[in-house]
Amino acid sequence: MELLIKEIIGKYNYWLYIILMMIGLYAIIAKNNLIKKLVGMNIFQTAIILFYISIGYKKGGTLPIIEIPHGHHTISPESIDISKYINPLPHVLMLTAIVVSVATFGVALAIALKIYKEYNTLEEDEIRMRLRGK
């Protein structure tokens, strides 16, 4: 029983991230509106980014900015305690991913605008009907 509670406290974060990711996947597959699909795509993306950030997290660690003692300009590598600082590597990878995600989101919206101009609707089944009608 105690082991189960420990397992739940250690892992509940990952489970909630997976639920979030699955909400995004459901929206991509089942929703009919193109904009809703884009929102699903973005939710999926942020859930993955959240997962990466949580991998780098250390309990009791502080921000990944090195604390230089007052009056000094540098700090020797030996005096830095690694477990005190959060792992910065996932942050770097995900920071660029967020900015690229907004750029791709802009391109996706541009394509949606073009589709609306051509077919006058954003619903997927209506677009398919019109394609068949032509």
Site for another protein in 63-122 (CB under 8 A): 63-68, 73-77, 80, 82-83, 85-96, 98-100, 102-107, 109-114, 116-117, 121-122
Tokens of 125: 């089944």
Distance CA 102, CA 64 (A): 25
Q: How far is the CB of 133 from another protein (least distance, A)?
A: 19
| CB 120, min distance to another protein, A | 9
**What's the min distance (Å) between Cβ of 134 and another protein?**
18
Q: Is 31 helix (H, G, I), strand (E, B) or coil?
A: coil
Q: How far is the CB of 71 from another protein (least distance, A)?
A: 15
Of 111 and 129, which CB lies nearer to another protein in the complex structure? 111
The two structure tokens encoding residue 18:
């997976």
Q: How far apart are CA 119 and CA 105, in angstroms?
A: 21
Footprint (CB under 8 A) of another protein, residues 20-49: 20-27, 29-33, 35-36, 39-40, 42-43, 46, 49
Q: Which of 3, 60, 69, 71 binds another protein (CB under 8 A)?
A: 60
Concatenating the DSSP letter of every residue in 93-108 gives HHHHHHHHHHHHHHHH
Is residue 8 within the footprint of another protein (CB under 8 A)? no
Collapse the DSSP code of 62 into the 3-class scheme (helix H, G, I; strand E, B; otherwise coil) and give the result: strand
Residue 130 binds another protein, judged by CB under 8 A = no
User: Should residue 13 be labelled a site residue for another protein when binding is judged by CB under 8 A?
Assistant: yes
Instruction: Check: CB of residue 25 under 8 Å from CB of residue 44.
Output: yes
Report the alpha-carbon distance of residue 125 to residue 30 in Å, rounded.
12
